[in-house]
């Protein structure tokens, strides 16, 4: 596994070591010992989630606050997404900055998103299957978020406006400037 910095404090790109031969490929998608050794972060994930979405879907930007904050390790097993992470930790030197990267079934990249970040993704392929490991359990009462089209963040989701599919819940989210502290 190789680790790359994203430019946001503690948010990392993880490149697994892939073994390919004429039969196909194999790679270790997660090993807690290796993860902790290479990143210095806790690999104590307790919940795995998977979503399926069609082209144009934008999910996010979401987080959980307080004692239910979550770090996530995200990847794509089918299709391609634009993954977006925003540092929402007020004491961080990269507070309010965002990072985006294309994750897909071919590149097999993963992104580690620490607690205190807001996260979302847009689906760039016909369909996509998205996986994320979380280091804390979901708690609906702790859900918070940021509207996907916040003018100050100015995120390019790589989806034309006419093709965007956003949940009613996500359309009600507030701008980043109104985010309650994580």
Residues known to be catalytic: 62, 132
Residues 11, 113 contacting (CB under 8 angstroms): yes
* Phi and psi, residue 37, nearest 5°: -65, -45
Separation CA 157–CA 124 (nearest Å): 9
């Amino acid at each position: 596994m190789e680790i790359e910095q994203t430019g946001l404090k503690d948010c990392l790109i993880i490149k697994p070591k892939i073994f390919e031969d004429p039969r196909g490929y194999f790679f270790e998608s997660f090993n807690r010992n290796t993860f902790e050794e290479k990143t210095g972060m806790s690999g104590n994930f307790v919940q795995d989630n998977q979503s399926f979405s069609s082209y144009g879907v934008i999910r996010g930007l979401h987080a959980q606050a307080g004692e239910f904050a979550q770090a996530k390790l995200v990847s794509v097993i089918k299709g391609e997404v634009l993954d977006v992470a925003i540092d929402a930790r007020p004491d961080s030197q990269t507070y309010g900055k965002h990072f985006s990267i294309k994750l897909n079934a071919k590149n097999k990249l993963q992104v580690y998103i620490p607690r205190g970040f807001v996260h979302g993704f847009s689906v760039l392929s016909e369909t996509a299957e998205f996986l994320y490991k979380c280091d804390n359990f979901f708690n609906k009462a702790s859900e918070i978020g940021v509207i996907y089209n916040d003018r100050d963040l100015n995120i390019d989701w790589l989806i034309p406006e006419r093709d965007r599919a956003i949940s009613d819940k996500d359309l009600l989210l507030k701008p980043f400037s109104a985010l309650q502290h994580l």
